[in-house]
DNA sequence: TCTTGTTTTGCAAACGTTTGCAGAGAAAAG
DNA sequence: CTTTTCTCTGCAAACGTTTGCAAAACAAGA
C-alpha cells in the first residue's frame, strides 16, 4: 500500500521515538532488551527493511564497494568477482560491478562516476597510465589488483617464481628452445611474465622466442598456432590459459601433438581441467587477492585514500598433461619452414613501474 | 580537505541558491543558459559530483538495478551480466551483482536485501519455488530470465525450435538413437530442453536415452563420457556447452572420435569455437534478453511491481564441426558392454509451470 | 526522603538532494 | 505608464536515517 514502512512509521505505531527504533537495529545494547524485542517483532510483522540510501546519507558510509574489470567475459575475472562479492557480502557490503571493455577512457569515467557512491573501489588489471593511477589513488579509496604502481594499494598475483619453476621443469625435460606467447600488451601480468621468462632464460641458456596473441583471445592464439609450431621451439609458455587453449586448438588443427611434439604451460588455472590433455598451468589465488582488496577497503572507513601497500600472492606450478620430455629427434616439424632462426620477435620489454 | 564539495557549498560559493545549482544539472532548460554555464564551470573546477544517495533519498529513485545469478563462474552468465551492465550504464543506472552459489535460500535472502535499494531486480535462472517467485513478483519490481512463472515478467531464451532443427538435422544424417545429457535439474532451461528432445523424438521415431550431469560441471559431464559412449547412441544433445565440452573430454579420453563415432550438439554457444573440433551448438541471444530485462525495470519507475509478460527470444542452430553422418556400421563401440538396451534413465520429466 | 548515579528514551539537527510554491524581474500587451 | 504574462530564481519542506545531547525513569546509597 503505502510502500515500505519507515522507521518513523514503525515508531508511531509503537508510540515510541524514531531514534529508539533506529537504535534497536544499530545499537541494541543501548536499549532495554524488551524494547528491542518489541521493535523487532513489529519490524518483522510490518516487513520493515532499512533504507540504505538514507543510512548512507546520514552516516556517510555507502555500504557498497565498486569492482571494475576490463572484461567480465574473460574467464580470469568471474572467480575473482565471485570471491569479492562473497566476502563483501559477509562484511555487509554490496558490490557494484562494471566492465570497461578494455577501454581506458571508459575505465577512467567509470572510476570517477562510481567512486563517490561507494566505500571504495577495486580496479582489476587497470589499463590506465601510471600517472593517472597515482592521481586517482591520491584522492579515492581504491585498491588495485594486478597493477603495480608505487605508493598505491595494490595486490599482485606474482607468477615469476612459478614461471622459474616451470622453466626449470621444462629444462629438466630437455627443452632448450621455448616460446612465450604474450597477451594484452598493457597488462601488468603480461609484462611481468614476459620478463620472468626472459630473465630466467638468459641465466640458464634457454633460447626464447616471443609471440603476442594481442587481444588475448582464443582465436588470436589459435591463429598463432602454425607460426609457433614452425618456429622450432619445443615448449611454450602462454600468458594465460585461454591463450594456451587457443594454441592447443591451433596445434590440433595442424596435427601437432601435445605434449609429444610440443609442451605447453598456461597460466591462471582458469580452464585447466577442461582441455584435453589437461593443461599444465600456473595456479594463482585470485580469491585471496579479491578478499584482501575488499578487506583493505573496509578498513579505516574514514580516510580519503588508502595508504600505499604492495601485497603479493605467489602462483604455483601445477603439472598436468601438457608437458613432456622433448622429442628424441628435435628436428623441425613438417610445416612450411620459415627462416631458419626467425628473428626473435620481441614484444615490448619495458620494465618501468608498471612492468 | 573538506571532502567532496556539495551542492550547497557550490551555491554559497556562487552566491546563488542550492536549488538553482541542482536545477543546473537536472533541468537546465528551466534556467538561463548563462547560469547553467556558470554553475557547470564552478562544478567542474571544484570537482563536484552529485551524491547518489541523497538524490535517491529525495527522488525515491535508486539509480541502480540488481542482478542475481546462480553462479557467475558458469560461462553462460558473464556475457549476460556484461550486456546488462552496458545497457544499464547507457540508461544511467549502476548494477549490483550478486551470486547465489546455486543456493535457493541465499537467493531468497539476496532478493529481500537488494530489492529495497534498487530500481528493480533481474533474477537469472532462479532456483526458487514457483510459489515463492510469484509472491516476490507481487511486491517487488523483478524481471526473471529463464524462469517461466505465469503472471511474472519473464524473458525466456527458448531453444525448443532450435532443438527440433538439431534433431531433424541429426535425423537426416542417419542418427536414430540419441542421448540428452541434462544439467541442473531445477533449471527451467534444462526442463524445457529435456521435453523438447522428448517430444520431437516421440513424434519422429527417434530413440532417446537420458543422462544427467547433475551439478552441470565439466567434470560431471566428463565422468559421464564412458556411459554415454557405451549406451549405443550415435549422437548426443547436451544441456549446455560446458556439458558438451565435458563429454567431449570424456570421449577423447576413451578414444571415441567426435564426430566420426559420435555427434555432439551443445547449447548456449558459450564455448563453441574453443573446442576441437569446434562445437555445433544452439546460439542464444543472452544480450537481447538482458537488455530487455533492464529496459523493463527502467520503465514505469513508479509502480511497485512489473506487470506480467512473457518475452521470448528463440535460439538458432549453428552447425560446426561436431556433427556428422552416422557411422556406416552402427555397431556398439568397443567399451565394456553394458546391458544391451540400458533402461532409458529418465530424469524428472515434470512439466509444471516452470518446466 | 533526598541525593547521586545509571540506564533508558526522546528531541532535534544533520546528511545532500529535489521540488512545489511563490516572489522578482523582464518582456509583452494594452 | 499600467497591467498582464513569462522567465528565472529563491525559500523551505521533504526523503529516512543516525546521533549528540538532554530529559526521564529508575535504582541505590545515605
Residue B298 belongs to domain with CATH number:
3.40.50.2300
Residue B153 and residue B295 in one domain: yes
CB contact under 8 A, B304 and A3: yes
- Location of C-alpha cell 511491481: B305
B8 touches chain A (CB under 8 A): no
A77 touches chain B (CB under 8 A): yes
Of A82, A10, A90, nearest to A46 (Cα)?
A: A10
- Burial of B319-345, coded b for 16+ CB within 10 Å and e otherwise, reads ebebbbebbeeeeebeeeeeeeeeeee
Q: What kind and span of H or E run contains B207?
A: strand B207-212
All 3 cell numbers of residue B219? 567434470
Would B329 be classed as within a structural domain?
no
Beta bridge partners of B156: B312
Please write the tens of the pLDDT for every residue from A263-295: 999 999 998 778 888 999 999 999 999 999 999
Cα separation, A116 vs B4, in Å, equals 8
Please write the tens of the pLDDT for every residue from A135-155: 999 989 999 999 999 999 999
Give the pLDDT band (50/70/90) at residue B329. Answer: low
Nearest CA in chain A to B275: A249
Q: What does A188-248 look like in DSSP terms, one character per residue? A: HHHHHHHHHHHHHHHHTT-EEEEEE-TT--HHHHHHHHHHHHHTT-SEEEESSHHHHHHHH
Domain residues for B275?
Answer: 160-283
What is residue A3's predicted lDDT score, i.e. its pLDDT?
66
Would A23 be classed as within a structural domain?
yes
B274 touches chain A (CB under 8 A): yes
Positive or negative: CA dihedral A123, A128, A133, A139 = negative
Residue A276 and residue A305 in one domain: no
* Burial (CB count within 10 angstroms: exposed 0-12, middle 13-18, buried 19+), residue A316: middle
- Location of C-alpha cell 531453444: B159
Beta bridge partners of B180: B210, B237
Cα–Cα separations (whole angstroms), residue A6 to A18, A38, A62, B276: 9, 16, 19, 58
Cα–Cα separations (whole angstroms), residue B309 to B157, B159, B188, B305: 14, 19, 17, 12
B253 touches chain A (CB under 8 A): yes
Query: Under 8 Å CB-to-CB from A264, ≥6 apart: which residues?
Result: A235, A236, A237, A238, A244, A247, A248, A251, A258, A279, A280, A322, A323
Give the pLDDT band (50/70/90) at residue B117. Answer: confident
pLDDT above 90 as % of chain B: 81
Q: Cα-flanking dihedrals φ and ψ of residue A216, to 5°?
A: 85, 20
Which residue's C-alpha is at the least distance from the C1' of D16?
A54
All 3 cell numbers of residue B84? 546488462
Residue B267 and residue B189 in one domain: yes
pLDDT above 70 as % of chain A: 91
CB contact under 8 A, B96 and A94: yes
Judging contacts by C-beta atoms under 8 Å, the chain A residues touching residue B135 are none
Q: Cα-flanking dihedrals φ and ψ of residue B149, to 5°?
A: -105, 125
Q: Which B residues, 56 through 75, put their C-beta within 8 Å of a C-beta on chain A?
A: 56-57, 62, 64, 67, 71-73, 75
Residue B150 and residue B299 in one domain: yes
Distance B233 CA to D2 C1' (A): 98
CB contact under 8 A, A96 and B98: no
Residue A168 and residue A263 in one domain: yes
Positive or negative: CA dihedral B153, B159, B160, B162 = positive
Judging contacts by C-beta atoms under 8 Å, the chain B residues touching residue A53 are 52-54, 56-57, 62, 117
Residue B110 and residue B131 in one domain: yes
Give strand D nucleotides closer than 7 A to any protein Cβ: 7-12, 14-20
A109 touches chain B (CB under 8 A): no
Give the pLDDT band (50/70/90) at residue B116. Answer: confident
Please write the tens of the pLDDT for every residue from B23-66: 999 999 999 999 999 999 999 999 898 999 999 999 999 999 99
Nearest CA in chain A to B86: A99
Q: Pick out the nucleotide with least CA–C1' distance to A59.
A: D18
The mean pLDDT value for B208-215 works out to 94
CA–CA min distance B293, chain A (Å)? 17
Please write the tens of the pLDDT for every residue from A107-138: 999 998 898 889 999 999 999 999 999 999 99
- Location of C-alpha cell 510469484: B134
Residue B122 and residue B168 in one domain: no
pLDDT at A343 over 80: no
pLDDT at A335 over 60: no
Judging contacts by C-beta atoms under 8 Å, the chain A residues touching residue B114 are 94
What is residue B201's predicted lDDT score, i.e. its pLDDT?
95
Beta bridge partners of B181: B211, B238
3-class secondary structure, A101: coil
Cα separation, B162 vs B165, in Å, equals 5
Give strand C nucleotides closer than 7 A to any protein Cβ: 7-12, 14-20
What is residue B4's predicted lDDT score, i.e. its pLDDT?
81
Of B142, B106, B157, nearest to B127 (Cα)?
A: B106
Q: Which of B73, B246, B275 sits opposite A79 (nearest CB)?
A: B73
Count of the separate structural domains present in chain B? 3
Would B335 be classed as within a structural domain?
no
Give the pLDDT band (50/70/90) at residue B3. Answer: low
Residue A307 and residue A259 in one domain: no
pLDDT above 70 as % of chain B: 91
Judging contacts by C-beta atoms under 8 Å, the chain B residues touching residue A78 are 72-73, 77-78
Would A329 be classed as within a structural domain?
no
The mean pLDDT value for B186-211 works out to 96
Cα separation, B38 vs B20, in Å, equals 11
What is residue A329's predicted lDDT score, i.e. its pLDDT?
56
Would A321 be classed as within a structural domain?
no
Please write the tens of the pLDDT for every residue from A52-76: 999 999 999 999 999 999 999 999 9
CA–CA min distance B285, chain A (Å)? 15
Cα separation, B332 vs B95, in Å, equals 52
- More confident of the two residues B306 and A339: B306
- Location of C-alpha cell 537420458: B210
| Lowest-confidence pick of A102-106, A280-284, B323-327 | B323-327
Distance A30 CA to C2 C1' (A): 28
- Burial of A335-346, coded b for 16+ CB within 10 Å and e otherwise, reads eeeeeeeeeeee
The C-alpha R_g of chain B, in whole angstroms, comes to 26
What is residue A117's predicted lDDT score, i.e. its pLDDT?
87
Cα separation, B143 vs B123, in Å, equals 6
pLDDT at A237 over 70: yes
Of B183, B195, B121, nearest to B152 (Cα)?
A: B121
Give the pLDDT band (50/70/90) at residue B202. Answer: very high
Residue B266 and residue B310 in one domain: no
Which residue's C-alpha is at the least distance from the C1' of C13?
A58
Please write the tens of the pLDDT for every residue from A315-329: 999 999 999 999 765
pLDDT at A259 over 70: yes
What is residue A113's predicted lDDT score, i.e. its pLDDT?
86
pLDDT at A190 over 90: yes
Would A225 be classed as within a structural domain?
yes
Would A341 be classed as within a structural domain?
no
Strands B281-283 and B235-238: unpaired
Residue A209 and residue A251 in one domain: yes
Of B173, B129, B125, B131, nearest to B145 (Cα)?
A: B125
Mutate to test the interface with A, among B274, B287, B290 (most CBs of A within 10 A): B274
Distance A88 CA to C6 C1' (A): 39
Judging contacts by C-beta atoms under 8 Å, the chain A residues touching residue B115 are 49
Residue A35 and residue A98 in one domain: no
- More confident of the two residues A179 and A353: A179
Cα–Cα separations (whole angstroms), residue B227 to B209, B232, B344: 11, 9, 12
Please write the tens of the pLDDT for every residue from B228-248: 999 999 999 999 999 999 999
Task: Assess contact for B46 and B5: CB atoms under 8 A.
Answer: yes
Would A340 be classed as within a structural domain?
no
Give the pLDDT band (50/70/90) at residue B193. Answer: very high
pLDDT at A170 over 90: yes
Cα–Cα separations (whole angstroms), residue A50 to A7, B112, B260, B303: 8, 11, 61, 20
* Burial (CB count within 10 angstroms: exposed 0-12, middle 13-18, buried 19+), residue A14: middle
CB contact under 8 A, A304 and B246: no
Which residue's C-alpha is at the least distance from the C1' of D18?
A58
HSE (side-chain half, CA atoms, 13 Å) at B12: 5
Of B184, B166, B113, B171, nearest to B281 (Cα)?
A: B166
3-class secondary structure, B322: coil
pLDDT at B267 over 70: yes
Residue B16 and residue B106 in one domain: no
Amino acid at each position: 500500500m503505502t510502500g515500505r514502512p519507515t522507521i518513523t512509521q514503525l515508531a508511531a505505531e509503537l508510540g515510541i521515538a524514531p531514534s529508539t527504533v533506529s537504535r534497536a537495529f544499530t545499537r541494541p545494547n543501548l536499549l532495554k532488551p524488551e524494547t528491542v524485542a518489541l521493535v523487532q517483532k513489529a519490524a518483522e510483522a510490518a516487513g520493515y527493511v532499512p533504507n540504505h540510501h538514507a543510512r548512507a546519507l546520514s552516516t556517510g558510509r555507502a555500504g557498497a564497494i565498486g569492482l571494475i574489470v576490463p572484461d567480465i567475459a574473460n574467464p580470469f575475472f568471474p572467480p575473482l568477482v565471485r570471491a569479492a562479492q562473497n566476502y563483501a557480502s559477509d562484511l555487509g557490503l554490496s558490490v557494484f560491478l562494471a566492465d570497461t571493455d578494455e577501454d581506458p577512457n571508459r575505465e577512467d569515467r567509470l572510476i570517477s562516476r562510481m567512486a563517490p557512491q561507494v566505500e571504495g573501489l577495486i580496479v582489476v588489471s587497470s589499463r590506465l597510465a601510471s600517472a593517472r593511477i597515482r592521481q586517482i589513488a591520491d584522492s579515492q579509496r581504491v585498491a588495485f589488483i594486478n597493477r603495480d604502481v608505487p605508493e598505491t594499494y595494490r595486490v599482485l598475483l606474482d607468477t615469476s617464481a612459478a614461471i622459474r619453476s616451470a622453466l626449470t621443469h621444462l629444462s629438466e625435460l630437455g627443452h632448450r628452445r621455448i616460446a612465450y606467447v604474450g597477451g594484452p600488451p598493457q597488462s601488468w601480468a603480461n609484462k611481468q611474465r614476459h620478463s620472468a621468462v626472459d630473465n630466467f632464460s638468459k641465466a640458464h641458456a634457454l633460447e626464447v622466442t616471443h609471440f603476442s596473441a594481442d587481444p588475448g583471445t582464443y582465436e588470436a592464439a589459435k591463429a598463432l598456432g602454425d607460426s609457433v609450431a614452425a618456429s622450432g621451439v619445443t615448449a611454450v609458455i602462454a600468458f594465460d590459459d585461454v591463450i594456451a587453449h587457443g594454441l592447443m586448438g591451433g596445434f590440433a588443427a595442424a596435427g601437432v601433438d601435445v605434449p609429444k611434439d610440443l609442451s605447453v604451460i598456461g597460466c591462471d588455472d582458469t580452464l585447466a581441467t577442461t582441455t584435453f590433455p589437461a593443461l599444465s598451468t600456473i595456479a594463482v589465488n585470485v580469491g585471496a587477492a579479491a578478499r584482501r582488496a575488499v578487506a583493505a577497503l573496509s578498513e579505516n572507513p574514514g580516510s580519503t585514500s588508502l595508504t600505499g601497500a604492495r601485497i603479493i600472492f605467489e602462483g604455483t606450478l601445477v603439472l598436468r598433461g601438457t608437458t613432456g620430455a622433448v622429442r628424441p629427434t628435435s628436428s623441425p616439424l613438417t610445416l612450411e619452414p620459415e627462416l631458419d632462426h626467425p628473428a626473435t620477435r620481441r614484444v615490448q620489454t619495458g620494465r618501468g613501474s608498471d612492468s
